[in-house]
Structure 1
């Protein structure tokens, strides 16, 4: 019995099995040819089996034992036709040919649709059949060696799939086109009935389907949402774990089972996409037919998800870059227009005085821009803007300034406007008011009233015995700018009071959507196109107060009347409902809002319009377009022709 020596599982099992009632008979009576073949088989480290006798009954070693799956150990001594009933139609002709011809057979990566676990699997094998001869020289059995190559075949096939998918995606026009293509091809490749991208709702509330593909004739119902998949399953998914659900699982939670049964599906997998530490979305696949859990399936789905999300991220990045480039160009043009308008509006007796005033205002704009840049153009507060404006002054002035008020968030455009307002007040206080003297004090406080308006109180206190210095003329640039910012940009009001003890400003800025707030026009009596004014009227729609002030100056200098100056679409529409200007100068972008509705309204009413913009937009027939900063001579020439 040396041929059964050894401590392996199969050697032990064969020794202990009672073969007396078996067709092989007692092991002591087995022929020498079988003994020799079995001794080699049991001591081989390679998967090896012997099919012996007319029924090709099975004997095999430890390495071969996992191949039949749960059919082991019942396969020991059983006929091949019973053990391999699911693939007998494929391998029976192979056995017959080996026995008939007496020649061996080798097959590589051969597909065998096995049903080892109660459902059909796509398996691949490389194996050989070799005839075994008995003592009389006749063929009495078949020697079988081989191993499963399913993983290798699927890995190679998945790699080819990814290459072809990448090639196909390069022709996609948009990321959404690419996503649709990827879902369809993934579904076809994995024989899924339903594939999609799902975005989670609140915990336990299911998912919204963002994109999906259904196999033709799959019978999968059309749906825009997915029901909850079960608290335990959802928790794993939200934790970033891949999820495999199968109706065959004994420990499947009731909600997960109900999810599968309601959709008449046997299996489902979910692969999460995590952003910022939370579940952003997940790719899901449903199968109507049973399917084994496969790490190769999960790996492929993960790679496809990474691929399509990478495409989407790149498209978003390109879109952001395009918007950013456009916004940078717009801001640069606007800044140039502001600087040009500032230089045009400054009144000075000498070059040195002009240079000083221009330098001060450019420096103020630069400080505010630096603050916004450091804050990445978000989350800027009024206190930060005020502190930035006072930062350039020495400690002796800081000690004489009292500041106080709640945290008030500002949008970038409003922050720039308020910075200009504070700069003009501060410059005037340093040159003419309380801060020019070492004993003077300044109090700046702000609050929000019951209607949500921002109230600024600027109060200067002169030192005892100090008389107020001559202030800037009422029609000076600084005074005009203060009025324009408070009244035209924010739709608010400004009150100025001069006393022996100092200067008081009370400024009210209505709270709301700051950058798109409708400005209430308050044109002076002698600048409207009323019955007493025969001049042609010009409507100015511009949300940058300095640029608007410059345009007003240009038009008045050229002999035009000002119909009104407005900072929003709604204000423009409201104030042209009853009467119309002779011509309109229209900024294309008003605090992030397109002015197209106002443009269409004016054109429909027959009002000639000149678009003035920091963007390179589309050209409209019959509507001239000027890019900021504009040329006065070019603007006047266009207005004259219109």
Structure 2
């Protein structure tokens, strides 16, 4: 059915042809008079208007509004506002609901919204007026919105504010500039307050009563003669005057100024005036001095220090780099840094630069580089971004340290540790063979198997120590290694990270082995329902205490044996001594309990940051 509206434009035609029967509004012929009247009023208007009708806030709008909503038109016509403006519904929804529920009219200027009208998010601003749309019974049936996009106006204001801010900064900076005018023939010296303040002259004092000599007296003694000669030279030749010098303040501190000026001559060619300006350059001088110091440090460093731009071209190369890589600065600067890379690391440099571009921090790492003679050198490489004065990343700084000798030492250490491991295992094998020969046939199979199991436990403990270059072993790793032959489901293990000293690892492993073996033969692990709990805590304090508890449950009833075996003696005597603490076995009826308490040293293992080390490592 036609919707007779004059001046409705493109959107009016779309409204007439739209399938309203499929929406909650129903066919146009059934629309209430208030809605028809509002639509006829809205369509020819040049203001950006939209009606959100009903509790679903179904959208009907005019051509002016269609231009504002971008790619959402014409799909937005006849759809609920929640579907149209999904990205800002958390903001828009409450506004519409307030008008619809409470009859409140909402008005705001330059209200900001974040829209996605062209397929990408953008921050925009609008003047908005949201009013209730009522029917003949005064009931609120919808919300009529009149909006005016003010994004350009808001951005213009922001740009103006930024320009004013920059102007303010410039004016503040210009406050460091002082001007002067010396009338040479009458020896009258005029200056503004800033110039007077630079030389600690009272700015409220009549500057004509201050002679040029009083200003010269404020100049640092080491610069005074040079400055006087430069002034005379400018007067005699007419050349522009430009000098930097130090000046003394009443408290004895020294600051730097740069003075620029020129000579004005009279008709007879005689010097009449010397006018110019001075600016305090102390901060600049301090930065330059810091850069000079840094440059001296870089130049004299034994480490190879170089920098590259974001195209991976070398921009600086110190003597350390010459010594390490064999190329002079003249040969290296300007070349791509990739010429130092071995063939198997060709992608390393581009990857570094890409991470630097993203502003990522690159931790120190070990790699290889190729020298001029073709040999490879092990280096520890530190890479940091280089910023320009605006803070923009413009390149990368790289410090390479030759770690060839350290690598040799590490390889030797690994070789020696491996040799030690091999010899220990050979020794254990020899001990096992001697023991079997000594036991002979008279010894029971159970005795021989127990002895073999203890040797195997020692061997596994040695493997743990070897893996950490005999710097101790993680308590949880020791427990896991000892209990490897048993079902994991039978154990409950919990506790913080603790590093056992190397001296205690073997005894601790044997003690756990004895507990596990006895539990399997006579205790909780001999019953299918039995379990073992191994827990430990690390107390706070100047000397933290390690408290470990082995507790069996679900096994047969336990009674204290008449005679203690090897395991009890190992735990209560040897383990206690190794840990400088206390260890004991308690035969509770519900199951065997073993308690270990040992002080912790204040030293930390350098290979495991943040982990404490059990006492006894220095015994």
Tell me the TM-score normalized by structure 2.
Answer: 0.33
Higher relative contact order (CA 8 A, sep 6+): 1
Greater percentage in strand: 2
Tell me the TM-score normalized by structure 1.
Answer: 0.32
